[in-house]
Each structure stands twice: as C-alpha cells, then as structure tokens.
Structure 1
Amino acid sequence: MTERVKDTKEMIRQMRPALRDGSYHFVHVADTELAARAMLMSIASFAEDEGLSLVVPAPALTELGLSDEMPMRCITLQVHSALDGVGLTAAVATLLADNGIPCNMVAAYHHDHAFVPAEMAERALELLQDLAD
C-alpha cells in the first residue's frame, strides 16, 4: 500500500475517483436477528442510538426483505488519505453540493467513499475527475 497522504492539495490531486460497479442502499435495521444477517452482506455499518445503519449492495435488499428507497452508487477516492488529513471530504462534498448532487461520505481506513444517487453518479465522477486534474 502506498504511503498515507495528509496534505489537502495532494490528497485532492491523487484521489483518482473510481465508480464502483452496482448500486448500494443505506438501510436501518433494529431487529438483532436481521441485523446479524445483514451485517454479513454489508460493505459498511454504523451503530446509532436508533439501531444499526448499514450500506448494502442492491441484491441483498430482496434477500433481507428491506425496502429499496434510494439506489446510490459509490465513488471510491483511491488516494490513501491519512486519517488526520484535513480537507478532502470537504472539497468533495462542497463540489458535489455546488452542482446539486447529494453526497454521503464514508471514510474508511485506506480510502474515502462518496455515495451519490445512482442517476447522478456519472456526472459526479466527471466533476471529481476534473477537480483532481
């Protein structure tokens, strides 16, 4: 793995946004048995006071019996951003917001991920590629 990047301008320059295949859904699961099954299928989770929030691939929705409210696409920022880096998330979210594209950012250990409505994903990808250039 490459060295972590901390400088704001360098994180943006190196972000190499890539659109992941498929669509994903943010869901809430309060039932512990369903949550245990859903966790195995999720790509991200967060324990909130109201229950477990998960990001699951679209095919898992039917199997889990969950509703299909808003299909999202995931754009992975492929720079290995430092956990204490400042500004990458703000730059991405601000650019997308300025262009009317909703964005849910998920920061993981190696990369940041921008989830945008499926129908806006290609435009969001173009904007982020232009920002990196």
Structure 2
Amino acid sequence: MTSRVRDGQEMIRQMAPKLLPGRFVFRTISDPDEAARLLPLAQASFREAEGLSLILEARPEDRDAFRQITLEVHSALDGVGLSAAVTSELAAREIPVNLVAANHHDHIFVPEHLAEFACDALLRFSRAAGAGTEKD
C-alpha cells in the first residue's frame, strides 16, 4: 500500500479518478428490521437523526441513479484541500456531488447522466495540477 498523501496539490495531482461500474441510489431507512436486512447490501452507510442512510445498488426502474467515481490517491484523513477542490471543480460545471470520504480513498457520487463528463473533468483537472512539475 502506498503512503498517505497529505499535501492538497499533490492529492489533486495523484487523484486518478476512476468511474466504477454500477448505479446507486441514496435511501434512508428508519425501520430497524429493514435496516438490518439492507445494511449488508449497502455500498456505504451513515447514521443520521432521520434513520440509517444507505447507498444501495439501484434497481432498473430507479430513475435518479448516481454513478461512483473513486479517487485512487491514498489520501490522508487529515489532508486539506482535495474534497474542496474536487467539489468546486465539478460545481463550476454544474455537476452535483455527493462525496464520501473513506479510510483510503474519497468516493464521489454524481448523477448517472453526468458521470462520464464529471470523470473527464476530474482527469483534466488532475493533469493541469501536475503540469509543469518535475513529477510528470
């Protein structure tokens, strides 16, 4: 495993966004039995006052699905700047972002119809951050 990257500019340069297969939906479950049944199927979960929020695989009939882009840089949990830079870059292109920071990587969920555009924008942003550096 590579060491964690803390420097904001270096995290952007190394982010290596990857669009993953699959479609996802966000759901909040307040019924404990249903939560126990769905939790093992969840891509991610978070407890909120309203219930257990889950990111689940979308069904074919789900119209408001999201796609997942994983930033493959091993970002430090105390690193500053990656989340802000990524969300700002996509917001400038009017792409909604739902960001999940996990222990090793950040994961971005964007509307399905904007996923390819979002991933391409992040690739260009990452390359621009590395332009003119000795590490290219």
Name the SS of the counterpart of 2:73 in structure 1.
Answer: coil
Give CA-to-partner distance per residue, 1:97-122, whole Å, 9 cap, x none. 11010000000000001100000000
Q: Report what 2:68 is aligned to.
A: 74
CA contact (8 A) 1:5 1:79 kept: yes
Structure-1 residue corresponding to 2:89: 95
Instruction: State the Cα deviation string for residues 40-62 of structure 1 (Å, max 9, x = none).
Output: 10010000011000001124xx8
Residue 102 (structure 2) pairs with residue 108 (structure 1): yes
Moved over 6 A (4+): none
Percent of paired sites with the same residue: 52
Counterpart Cα distance in 1 of 2:25 and 2:37: 16
Give me the CA root mean square deviation: 1.3
**CA offset at residue 70 of structure 1?**
1.8
Structure 2 residue 124 is matched with structure 1 residue 130: yes
The two structures have a TM-score, normalised by structure 1, of 0.92
Pairs aligned (count): 127
Distance of 1:18 and 1:68 partners within structure 2: 23
Unaligned runs of 5+ in 1: none
Map 1:37-76 onto structure 2 (within 5 A): 37-59=37-59, 68=62, 70-76=64-70
Shift of 1:68: 3.0
Provide the secondary structure at the position in 1 that maps to 2:84.
helix
Q: TM (normalized to structure 2)?
A: 0.90
Q: Residue in 2 aligned with 1:86? A: 80
Counterpart of 1:32? 32
Which amino acid is 1:91 matched to?
A
Q: Which runs of 5+ in 2 are unaligned?
A: 128-136
> Which secondary structure state, in structure 1, belongs to the residue aligned with residue 15 of structure 2?
coil
